[in-house]
Amino acid sequence: TEGATVVNISGSRSSKTFKPKKNIPEGSHQYELLKHAEATLGSGNLRMAVMLPEGEDLNEWVAVNTVDFFNQINMLYGTITDFCTEESCPVMSAGPKYEYHWADGTNIKKPIKCSAPKYIDYLMTWVQDQLDDETLFPSKIGVPFPKNFMSVAKTILKRLFRVYAHIYHQHFDPVIQLQEEAHLNTSFKHFIFFVQEFNLIDRRELAPLQELIEKLTSKDR
């Protein structure tokens, strides 16, 4: 069912993910939380949808949503990879004022300047590795989250934001051509409401899309 939940006119393109989808095991508590999130999203009230459900663990809620955002961004970027090339995007940027250099602190300690497709490949692979690490993102019931979980989640979300920022600034035309605009806006709005609700990304980091954020969130105050 890779990407089968998204039905759009561009047909088969929508099912192309950039990296393999990260599945939350069915029958697990996290799966139930994901279903809860999807149900509240269906009501159309995004502010309500991001709130911590009563009696739930914040770490677990952040974990489930982080996996979900990874999958969403994975699919959105997957639809425009043909347009994001070494030639079109020799640097990873979000408009003329913002350029990103890659470092993950382990394999690449000193930030390197690289093309957007290379940067996003590094970034999504790095996120995938974090999500697959059972000591960081435990999928088994009763296994506690590590003490540094929130700071890791914040770094993941901060980096995932950069993929949205790059798509909006550099590839919005193909997004419109592919009729993915509503999908992108809804996904990003959900993401922003979520990080605002739990104060997960520093305002400075959100600067490349500040105007858009104000536009998307002002209607829902």
Q: Which residues are annotated as a binding site for Zn(2+)?
A: 84, 89, 166, 171
According to DSSP, residue 71 is labeled H
User: CA-CA distance, 141 to 58, in Å (whole number)?
Assistant: 15
Contact 175/182 with Cβ under 8 angstroms?
no
The number of CA neighbours under 13 Å toward the Cβ of 67 is 23
| Binding-site entries | 84, 89, 166, 171
User: CA-CA distance, 162 to 2, in Å (whole number)?
Assistant: 24
Tokens for 76, please give them: 């959105």
